Amino acid sequence: MNRLLNYIIIAGMAILAISCADPEDPTPTQMSYGTWTVSEVYVNDQTNPSNIISRFTLERDGSYVLEDNNGFASVGTWVATDVALTLTGSDGTVTDFAIVFQNYVKMQLLQTIESPSAGTIEIRYLMNKSSSTIY
């Protein structure tokens, strides 16, 4: 009986230790799902007061909703690799982002656009996870 009690106590302590462990950061191929709001935008390393993207929602089923500062939304599917996030809109447009940083509450994406007149434009998005969608 004493031995059984010891096993129950050890099992309880193991369960408690596992439940208190911090979750690992998501990997790029397992993006952190939910709604992200853009907190800062940098264009060519200069702050940009206008949010090109204001809200970004990644769904578990591989779909996304992207909303700009005018309230216009685009939808489509997303795919992530170890270094990139690719959005394919329902209209066929493809948008590529480099994944600079990601954890469950913060994400940083980098978009590079080539323009014949302006040259290379780099847009950096610093995002925060909406507290109601942390999962």
Identify the structural domains of the chain with CATH numbers, from first to last.
Answer: 26-133 (2.40.128.540)
**Does the structure show a pLDDT above 70 at 23?**
no
Q: How many CB atoms lie within 10 A of CB 34?
A: 19
Q: Is the pLDDT confidence value at 110 over 90? A: yes
Q: State what percent of residues in the chain have pLDDT above 70.
A: 79
Average of per-residue pLDDT across 86-112:
90
Q: What is the pLDDT of residue 134?
A: 46
Chain-wide mean pLDDT for the chain? 81
Flag whether pLDDT at 21 surpasses 70: no
Q: Specify the pLDDT at position 96.
A: 93
Taking only the tens place, the pLDDT of each residue in 71-93 is 788 899 999 887 889 999 999 99
Q: How confident is the model at residue 97 (pLDDT cuts 50, 70, 90)?
A: very high
* pLDDT bucket at 64, cuts 50 / 70 / 90: very high
Name, of 14-18, 19-23, 27-31, 57-61, the range with top average pLDDT: 57-61
Q: For 37-60, b where at least 16 C-beta lie within 10 A, e where not — what string?
A: ebeebeeeeeeeeebebbbbbbee
